[in-house]
Amino acid sequence: MKWLSVFRLLLPVAASSVLIACGPADNAAQTSASNEAAVPSPVTVASPESTGDVQDESVRLNAWFEEKYEEELAFSPIQQTFLGVTDNNDQIDDFSLEAQQEQLNWKRDSVTEMRVNFNYEQLNADAKISYDLWEYQLAASEAANQFRINGYVFEQMSAVHSFFPQLLIAFHTVEDADDMQAYVSRIEAYVSRIEATEVALDQLIALSQEAAAAGVRPPRFAFDSVIDSASQIITGVPFTEGEDSAIWADTQQKIATLREAEAINQAQADELANAARAALVDHWQPAYERLIAWQQEDIVNASEMIHSRKSQPFVKPRPSTKRRRTSWLMLPARRWSIIGSLPTSD
C-alpha cells in the first residue's frame, strides 16, 4: 500500500499536489515537454464551441482536483504540518492497516467519481495529464498493496521512530499558548492515543510484527541501530538523570519563548511544563520502551547478512513502482498504457 517510512507514507498526498499544478496557467513547461515527446498527429481546427467545451470541462476538473487534494491532505496531519497548515496540529497520522485500507478505498472511489463526472475527450492536454496521473496513482497503489508487508518498518535508514521528536522539534511551531497546548497533545498522540485508535508507535510495532511473522525483517545491524537510537531518545531528563533530553530541552525552550514574549504568564508556563513532562513520562517513554523490547525480542531471528529480495514473500512480480513514479511524469497523456506499465500477478 505505502512503504513504511514517513516520507513514503506521505507520498500519495505529495504526488497529488502535482495535479493541482497542471492547470493551464501554471504548467507551460510541462506542456512544452509533453508536446515535444508526443507522437505527431493530424492537425485539426477546433470550433469555438468545442474550444469552449474543452475549457469548461478542464476548469471543472481542476476545481475538482483542488477539492480532492484537500480531502487527501486531511488524512495526514503530519503532511499538513510540513505545508504550514495548522489544522489538526495536535494530531498525527493513523499508521494502522485499517487506515491504509481506508485511504485506498477513498482513492478508488475518487477515480470512479472522476470517470463518471468528467468527459476525458473534452479536456485540454494539461487536464488530460492530471486525469491520467490520478488514475495511475490508484493503479500504483493497487499494485503496491500486494507487497505491503515487504517493507522494513524499523531500520537505520528511514528511522521512522526518530522522526517523531524531529517533527516536534523542527516542524511544530509554537507562537501562542494554544500552539503549546497542541504541542503537548501531539506528544500524547504520538505514543498514547485513546486505546480504541491505538498509538502511532504501537501501530508501527504491530506492522513490524506482522512483517516478521511473514519472514520480513532487516539484518541484525539494523536492529542494533534502532535499539540504540530509540534508547537515546528517552535518555536524559525527564526520563533519566543527567542532562536534558533533546525533546525536553525543546519543550522548555518553546515555553520560555512564549514567556519572554509575554504570550503566557508564569502560572501558564508552569502548567504547560508540567503537562508536557507528564505526557513524556507517562506516554512517550513507555511507547519507546515497548519498541526497544520488541526489537530486543526479534533480533535473535535476524540474519547477520543482507539477503536478496528473493528470500522475501510475494517477491514476484517485482514492484518497481518507485522508478515508474519518477518516469511517468514526463510522458505525454495517453501515450502509454497504465496497466501495461505496472507489475502484474503473472
pLDDT under 50: residue ranges of the chain: 1-11, 13-14, 17-18, 20-49, 188-198, 315, 317-346
What residues contact 345, with CB distance under 8 A and at least 6 apart?
A: 146, 317
The DSSP bridge partners found for residue 237 are 244
Residue 220: Cβ within 10 Å count: 16
Q: What is the pLDDT of residues 277-322, one digit of tens each?
A: 988 898 889 989 999 999 999 989 988 876 655 556 654 544 444 4
Residue 48 has a pLDDT of 45
pLDDT value at residue 192: 34
- What's the pLDDT score for residue 58? 95
End-to-end CA gap in the chain: 19
- Identify the pLDDT of residue 185: 61
The pLDDT assigned to 35 comes to 43
Q: Residues 231-284: pLDDT tens digits?
A: 999 999 999 999 999 999 988 988 888 888 777 889 988 988 898 898 889 888
Cell 537505520 locates to 156
Position 81, amino acid: T
**12 preceded by cis ω (within 30°)?**
no
**Rg for the chain, CA atoms, rounded:** 24
Q: Taking Cα atoms as reference points, which of 226, 217, 240 lies closest to residue 303?
A: 217
Asked whether the CA dihedral 49, 54, 57, 63 is positive or negative, the reply is negative
321 contacts 129 by C-beta, under 8 angstroms: no
Q: For residues 148-165, b (16+ Cβ closer than 10 Å) or e, as one string?
A: bbbbbbbbbebbbbbbbb
d(CA 239, CA 245): 8
pLDDT confidence of residue 189: 44
- Could you give the CA distance from residue 255 to residue 326 in angstroms, rounded to a whole number? 42
Per the CB < 8 A criterion, the answer to whether 302 and 220 are in contact is yes
Tell me what percent of the chain is helix, strand and coil, each rounded to the nearest 5: 65, 0, 35
pLDDT of residue 34: 39
Distance CA 308, CA 208 (A): 19
- Per-residue pLDDT, 184: 66
pLDDT at 342: 34
pLDDT score, position 314: 56
pLDDT at 72: 94
**Set of cell numbers at residue 56:** 469548461
- Do 19 and 65 contact (CB within 8 A), yes or no? yes
Instruction: Tell me if 69 sits within 8 A of 17, measured CB to CB.
Output: yes
